[in-house]
Amino acid sequence: MALPPAVRLMAIGTMLVFSFLCIQIYRAPSSLSAGGKHAIKIKDMPRDPNLDPTLEPPEPLHRVSGNNYAPDNANSNRINATILSLVRNEELPGILQSMRDLERTWNHKFNYPWTFFNDVPFTEEFKKATRAMTKADIRYELIPNEHWEVPSWINRDLFRESADILKEHDVQYAHMLSYHQMCRWNSGLFYKHPALKDMQYYWRVEPKVHFFCDVDYDVFRFMQDRNKTYGFTINLYDSPQSVPTLWTETIKFLASNSHYQHPDNAMKWLTDKERRPEHTQEANGYSTCHFWSNFEIADMNFWRSSAYEEYFEHLDRAGGFFYERWGDAPVHSIALGLFEDARKIHWFKDIGYQHIPFFNCPNSPKCRGCVTGRFYDGDATLAKEDCRPNWFKYVGMSPEWAVSKDD
């Protein structure tokens, strides 16, 4: 029986829309577009690029001259940016260690303010000791209850039962409710704090991290001048058991929001199944590759965009921050890999960094205290957690680092 013309038209229309959506969702960057034609692609990373000499990125860079970055200069060259840290009072020795390193290598020159966040008030001891570490302004901020508390739609019994299962799969911190709260806050709430209302850029710092290399230019202005959204140092695999349905939820979100995908995205990096096929399989299509977010230098306008806001809202409602252990690192990384131009994501090759057990240690006379090219400390099995080879393969290093190649 022939279909009436109106029904036929509707069927054809539905098929066209469906095909369009499928193409949009799986539209991966071509090898020319991801990272741009000037990006430095490396196939299979035969040797660690940190063994090659690292210079500063090319000029122009903003540097200290006279009092242009003095702490009390009301007309300084600083932009709307802060170093920020979520930290507990009991982690005071650890945060002092991180401050000492970052002040020594960078901030004693530029005097960007520090903003500390906590879910309980900071003690006087904490304030006094941290104030003594810097000439820059420091702000101590309490997280509003509505940003930290477990959302009303989370069922506590289900949380506990899910945590039992996560624990059986060796997922760290499964039963630690505050760890789940912390991951959720770092994913989608920190930039909504009233203290950050006028801030655009931030550098995230955790207790007990190390910085090894002198950095003599204003990294926030670098981000602004070169139109970068996000800077990372370390790129890792995650435990697939901590994110079993994160990718499924992401695909659901994309099904009705495909317009948010950037044409020059990093989908291939997010979905690679060649390097660790079992990881991609266990995480239901997500390679688990992510920027290690204990270090982030980023533009909060990205998190404040409707693409990210709606994505976070979708994930938050799905409950995986509690029923699974979705971290802010994979959540941020998936969003960046889908919604942002991959060229706007920068590897800060020149910032020597360690959060136990991984390093970024460049080959530069500006660095002290780390072993050039060393990626991890400890068991040799940690080597396979390195996901930089996929980033360099699919997206490539920022063209800024081309100068060090001929050196």
Q: How far is the CB of 208 from Mg ion (least distance, A)?
A: 7
Residue 374 CA to residue 251 CA, distance in Å, equals 36
- Which among ligand GDP, Mg ion, none contacts residue 86 (Cβ within 5 to 8 A by kind)? ligand GDP
CA 30 → CA 20, 35, 188, 235, distances in Å? 18, 10, 30, 21
The residue (of 114 and 392) whose beta carbon lies closer to Mg ion is: 114
- Which among Mg ion, ligand GDP, none contacts residue 91 (Cβ within 5 to 8 A by kind)? ligand GDP
- Which among ligand GDP, Mg ion, none contacts residue 178 (Cβ within 5 to 8 A by kind)? ligand GDP
In this structure, the dihedral spanned by the alpha carbons of residues 164, 165, 170 and 173, taken in order and rounded to 10 degrees, is -50
The residue (of 209 and 219) whose beta carbon lies closer to ligand GDP is: 209
Which tokens in the block code for residue 109? 């020159």
How many CA atoms within 13 Å lie on the side-chain side of 399? Answer: 12
Residue entry with tokens 């369009």: 20
Amino acid at 285: G
Amino acid at 170: D
The residues of the shown chain that bind Mg ion, judged by CB under 5 A, are 206
Q: How far is the CB of 43 from ligand GDP (least distance, A)?
A: 31
The residues of the shown chain that bind ligand GDP, judged by CB under 6 A, are 85-88, 91, 118-119, 178-179, 182, 206-207, 294
The helix-helix angle for 92-102 and 124-131 (nearest 10°) equals: 20
Residue entry with tokens 């499924």: 248
Long-range own/partner contacts, residues 356-360 (CB < 8 A, 24 or more apart): 356/208, 357/382, 358/234, 358/236, 358/292, 358/382, 358/385, 359/234, 360/50, 360/233, 360/234
Q: How far is the CB of 94 from Mg ion (least distance, A)?
A: 9
The residue (of 134 and 242) whose beta carbon lies closer to ligand GDP is: 242
The residue (of 180 and 344) whose beta carbon lies closer to Mg ion is: 180
Q: Considering only CA atoms, which of 145, 148, 173 is closest in space to residue 326? A: 173
Q: How far is the CB of 207 from Mg ion (least distance, A)?
A: 7
Asked whether 305 and 239 are in contact (CB, 8 A), the reply is no
The residue (of 182 and 334) whose beta carbon lies closer to ligand GDP is: 182
Assess whether 296 carries a catalytic annotation: yes
Q: How far is the CB of 384 from ligand GDP (least distance, A)?
A: 19
Asked whether 203 and 114 are in contact (CB, 8 A), the reply is no
Q: How far is the CB of 173 from Mg ion (least distance, A)?
A: 11
- Which among ligand GDP, Mg ion, none contacts residue 182 (Cβ within 5 to 8 A by kind)? ligand GDP
The residue (of 7 and 356) whose beta carbon lies closer to ligand GDP is: 356
Please pick, among 91, 103, 249, 296, the residue that the annotation labels catalytic.
296
Residue 128 CA to residue 106 CA, distance in Å, equals 22
- Which among ligand GDP, Mg ion, none contacts residue 34 (Cβ within 5 to 8 A by kind)? none
Indicate which residues carry an active-site annotation. 296
